[in-house]
Amino acid sequence: MDDYPLLNAFLTMMYLFLWVLWFFLLFKVITDIFQDHSLNGWVKAAWVVFVILLPYVGVLVYLIARGRGMGRREAKQAEDREAAFRKYVQQAARPEGETGPGGGHVSDLAKLAELKENGHLSQEEYEKAKTKLLA
């Protein structure tokens, strides 16, 4: 172990980290190229060829030319994922039989009970409406 000092081990780990970071950045740029709907097929092909044939220059030019849009697209995708998640949670948390916000069997039963308590419905009318609602 005498012929491989600590500084060389540190430099090797740093090079490995930078190499992995470089591949992450390259894949991120290529993914952004294919997910950008404002580019047509030929422009996407040109960017991919440029990034693959001249990887360092291509990625740096892409980040300079389209980096701001890349950030906006990423933020929009995150917002869309968050909205889809919230919608899913709201649907999953909705009681069985309820059809939507402010509607459904649960809220209708509550309205019927309130009408009965206020004296707008008799016991017969309440039972009839309740049976019809639950059928």
Digits of tens for pLDDT over the chain (135 positions)? 557 788 888 999 999 999 999 899 999 999 999 988 888 999 999 999 999 999 889 999 999 999 888 889 889 989 999 988 888 888 777 655 555 554 566 777 788 888 888 877 788 888 888 888 777
Structure-block tokens of residue 121: 């419905």
Give the angle 98-104-105 at the CA atoms, nearest 5°: 90
- What pTM was computed for the model? 0.55
Rounded distance between C-alpha atoms, residue 125 and residue 110, angstroms = 15
pLDDT of residue 130: 82
Rounded distance between C-alpha atoms, residue 103 and residue 67, angstroms = 45
The ranges assigned to domains in the chain are 1-68, 99-135
Rounded distance between C-alpha atoms, residue 60 and residue 135, angstroms = 65
